[in-house]
C-alpha cells in the first residue's frame, strides 16, 4: 500500500470506527429506556392488582382522575375483545421491528422514542401472555381512569409518548440513523449526530 493510500485510508477507517462507537452507545440507551418503562409498568400493575382490584375507585383529582382496576382484553376503550390474539401479534411484530432497527440507531431522540414504544409494547404483551386466561389472550391491567376517556396503564402512556415522538421526529426530518432530510428530498448528516 502506498503512503497516499495509507494517508487517505486512515481517516475513513477512523470515521468508520467513530460511527461504530456511536451506534453501540445508543443501543444501550434504547434498551435502558425500554427497561425503565417496562419495570415501571410491571411494578405499577402488580401494586394496583394487590391493593386496588375488587375495591372502590380511588379519587386522585376528584372525578377527573381516578385509579380503578379493570382487565382489558381489547384495545383502547375496550374495543376488539375478540381480537386479543391479533393485538398480541401486532405487539410482537412491533418489538421485533424496533430491535432490528436498533442496529442503525444513531439518534438519541429516536432511541428515547423507540425505547418508550418497546417498553410499552413489552408491558402489555406480558399481560396478554401471563394473565388469565393466558396464551396471548390475557387481559391487560388498566387502572389510570381520566374522566370521559379510556382507562389506561403506564405501558399505554409510554406507547403514546413514544408514538408522539416518532411522529414529531419524522415531521422534522430526523431519521433514526441521525441524518436529516433536506427540503429538496436529499439527506445531510446531522451536525451533532450522537446528541440527537
Q: Which of these, 166, 44, 37, lies nearest to 111 by C-alpha position?
A: 166
Positions annotated as catalytic residues are 142, 156
Cβ atoms of residues 69 and 144 within 8 Å: no
Give the helix/strand (H/E) hosting 78: none
Cβ atoms of residues 181 and 175 within 8 Å: yes
Cβ atoms of residues 118 and 155 within 8 Å: no
Distance between CA 1 and CA 106 in Å, rounded? 33
Q: Which of these, 84, 68, 46, lies nearest to 144 by C-alpha position?
A: 68
Distance between CA 128 and CA 173 in Å, rounded? 35
Which residue matches cell numbers 436498533? Answer: 102
CB atoms within 10 A of CB 28: 12
First to last CA, the chain: 38
Amino acid at each position: 500500500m502506498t503512503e497516499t493510500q495509507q494517508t487517505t485510508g486512515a481517516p475513513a477507517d477512523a470515521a468508520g470506527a467513530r460511527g461504530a462507537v456511536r451506534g453501540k452507545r445508543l443501543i444501550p440507551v434504547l434498551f435502558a429506556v425500554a427497561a425503565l418503562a417496562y419495570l415501571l409498568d410491571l411494578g405499577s400493575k402488580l401494586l394496583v392488582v394487590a391493593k386496588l382490584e375488587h375495591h372502590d375507585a380511588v379519587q386522585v383529582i376528584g372525578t377527573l382522575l381516578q385509579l380503578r382496576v379493570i382487565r382489558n382484553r381489547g384495545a383502547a376503550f375496550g374495543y376488539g375483545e375478540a381480537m386479543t390474539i391479533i393485538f398480541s401479534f401486532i405487539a410482537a411484530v412491533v418489538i421485533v421491528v424496533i430491535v432490528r432497527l436498533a442496529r442503525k440507531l444513531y439518534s438519541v431522540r429516536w432511541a428515547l422514542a423507540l425505547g418508550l414504544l418497546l417498553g410499552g409494547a413489552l408491558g402489555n404483551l406480558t399481560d396478554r401472555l401471563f394473565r388469565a386466561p393466558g396464551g396471548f389472550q390475557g387481559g391487560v391491567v388498566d387502572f389510570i381512569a381520566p374522566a370521559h376517556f379510556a382507562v389506561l396503564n403506564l405501558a399505554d402512556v409510554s406507547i403514546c409518548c413514544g408514538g408522539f415522538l416518532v411522529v414529531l421526529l419524522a415531521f422534522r426530518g430526523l431519521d433514526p440513523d441521525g441524518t436529516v432530510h433536506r427540503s429538496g428530498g436529499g439527506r445531510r448528516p446531522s451536525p451533532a449526530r450522537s446528541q440527537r
